[in-house]
C-alpha cells in the first residue's frame, strides 16, 4: 500500500467519543430504575449514542476510498483489511466462549467449567447463521458487517462500477429496516436472520465514506452540525414512534431512517474540524485514546459483564453514571497494558488496537 497516510486527529477524537457511545449502549445506564423520568432518560441516552457504529463504518469507507484515490492496489488493501477484521473475530469468538463471565459463576459452581463451556458451544452451533455473522459474542457482528461492506466495495471497484455501491447499500439498508425495526409495516416479511448483521446496515455507510473520500474540499461545519442534529432528532423520534405503535423497546432499536443522517453528520463534523485533537490536553488525550478503538471494542464486553452485577446491586445514580466510564477506562487500560508488555515490533491480532 506504500507509505501510510498521515492520521487525521479529528477522526481519532471522534473515534474515542463513538466508542464511549457504544459502551453507553451496552451498559444501559439507569436500567434498574423504572420511574418514567429514568425510563425516558435511558431512551434518550441510548438513541443519542446510535451515531457511533455508523460513524465507524463511514470512517472505514472514507479511509478505504482515500487509499483507492492514492492508487493503492484494491486486493492488497482488501487482504490487509480482511486480516484485521476476521482474525480478531475468530480469536475473540473463542475467548468469549472459554473465558468465564459473572453470569456464568453460579452455573460453574453447580455444573463445572467444562459443562458451562460446552453449553455455550451448543447454543452457538444451534444457530449457525448467527454464529457466522456474530461469532462468540454478539458485539462482534460489526467485524463481519464491515468485512461484507469492504468485500462489496472492492468487487464493484475492480469491476469499474464503484458508483453502484451507494444504491446497492440503500437497497440493503431498506431490506434491513423492513426485516428489523420496521417489520411491522410489512406483515410476514421475515428473512430468518438479524438484518442488522452482514451487509444490510454496513454497506450504505461504507459507501457514504467512499463518497466523502472523493470530495476535495472539507465539509462546511454548519451543514455538518445541521445534518447531525437532524439525524439525532429523527433517531429519537423514530425509536419512540416504533415503541408506541409496534411494541418495540426503543432501547433495542439499532438503526432507522434517521440513522443515515445521524452517522453521516458525525463523520462530516470530524472532517469539518480536522485539527480537533491536536490542541489542548483533553482533546489530545482523546485523539490518542481513539487510536486504540478497535482494541477497546473487542475487550469492553468482558468488563461490561463483570461490572454489571455489582453495579445493578448498588441502585445508585452515581454508580450508574460511573458504569460506562469504568468500562471504558478499564478497556483502554487493558489495551495499553497489553501493548506495553508485548514484544516490541511484534504484530498481534489479539487486541488490534490501532486503525
State how far the Cα of 27 lies from the Cα of 325, in Å rounded to an integer. Answer: 10
Instruction: List the grid coordinates of 305.
Output: 459483564
| Neighbouring residues of 130: CB distance < 8 A, sequence distance ≥ 6 | 124, 193, 194, 197
The answer to whether 267 and 208 have CB atoms below 8 angstroms apart is yes
Question: What pLDDT is attached to residue 132?
Answer: 96
**Residue 292: HSE in the Cβ half-sphere, 13 Å Cα cutoff:** 23
Question: What pLDDT is attached to residue 76?
Answer: 97
For 127-154, write each residue's pLDDT tens digit.
999 999 999 999 999 999 999 999 999 9
Question: What pLDDT is attached to residue 269?
Answer: 98
DSSP string for residues in 57-84: HHHHHHHHHHHHHTT--HHHHHHHHHHH
For 190-219, write each residue's pLDDT tens digit.
777 899 999 999 999 999 999 999 998 999
Q: What is the mean pLDDT of each run of 10 residues along the chain (355 residues)?
A: 69 98 95 89 96 98 97 97 96 95 84 93 95 96 98 98 97 95 80 91 98 94 98 97 90 96 98 94 96 96 91 83 96 92 60 52
Question: What pLDDT is attached to residue 352?
Answer: 54
Question: What pLDDT is attached to residue 349?
Answer: 59
Question: What pLDDT is attached to residue 311?
Answer: 85
Question: What pLDDT is attached to residue 186?
Answer: 78
Amino acid at each position: 500500500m506504500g507509505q501510510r497516510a498521515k492520521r487525521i486527529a479529528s477522526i481519532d477524537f471522534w473515534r474515542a467519543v463513538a466508542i464511549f457511545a457504544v459502551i453507553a449502549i451496552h451498559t444501559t445506564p439507569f436500567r434498574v430504575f423504572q420511574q418514567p423520568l429514568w425510563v425516558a432518560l435511558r431512551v434518550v441516552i441510548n438513541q443519542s449514542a446510535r451515531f457511533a457504529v455508523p460513524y465507524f463504518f463511514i470512517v472505514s469507507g472514507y479511509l478505504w476510498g482515500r487509499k483507492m484515490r492514492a492508487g493503492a492496489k484494491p486486493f492488497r488493501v482488501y487482504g490487509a483489511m480482511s486480516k484485521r477484521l476476521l482474525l480478531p473475530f475468530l480469536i475473540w469468538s473463542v475467548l468469549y466462549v472459554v473465558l468465564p463471565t459473572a453470569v456464568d459463576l453460579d452455573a460453574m459452581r453447580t455444573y463445572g467449567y467444562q459443562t458451562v463451556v460446552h453449553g455455550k458451544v451448543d447454543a452457538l452451533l444451534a444457530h449457525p447463521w448467527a454464529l457466522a455473522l456474530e461469532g462468540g459474542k454478539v458485539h462482534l457482528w460489526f467485524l463481519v458487517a464491515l468485512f461484507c461492506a469492504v468485500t462489496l466495495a472492492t468487487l464493484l471497484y475492480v469491476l469499474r462500477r464503484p458508483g453502484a455501491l451507494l444504491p446497492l447499500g440503500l437497497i440493503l439498508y431498506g431490506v434491513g429496516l423492513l426485516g428489523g425495526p420496521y417489520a411491522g409495516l410489512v406483515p410476514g416479511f421475515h428473512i430468518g436472520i438479524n438484518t442488522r448483521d452482514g451487509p444490510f446496515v454496513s454497506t450504505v455507510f461504507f459507501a457514504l465514506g467512499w463518497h466523502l473520500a472523493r470530495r476535495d474540499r472539507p465539509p462546511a461545519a454548519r451543514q455538518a452540525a445541521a445534518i447531525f442534529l437532524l439525524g439525532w432528532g429523527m433517531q429519537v423520534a423514530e425509536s419512540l414512534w416504533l415503541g408506541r405503535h409496534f411494541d418495540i423497546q426503543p432501547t433495542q432499536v439499532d438503526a432507522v431512517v434517521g440513522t443515515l443522517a445521524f452517522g453521516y453528520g458525525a463523520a462530516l463534523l470530524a472532517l469539518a474540524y480536522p485539527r480537533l485533537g491536536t490542541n489542548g490536553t483533553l482533546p489530545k488525550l482523546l485523539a490518542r485514546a481513539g487510536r486504540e478503538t478497535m482494541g477497546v471494542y473487542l475487550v469492553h464486553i468482558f468488563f461490561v459483564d463483570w461490572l454489571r452485577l455489582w453495579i445493578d446491586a448498588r441502585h445508585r445514580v452515581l454508580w450508574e453514571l460511573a458504569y460506562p466510564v469504568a468500562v471504558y477506562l478499564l478497556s483502554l487500560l487493558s489495551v495499553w497494558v497489553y501493548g506495553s508488555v508485548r514484544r516490541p515490533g511484534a504484530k498481534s491480532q489479539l487486541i488490534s488496537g490501532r486503525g
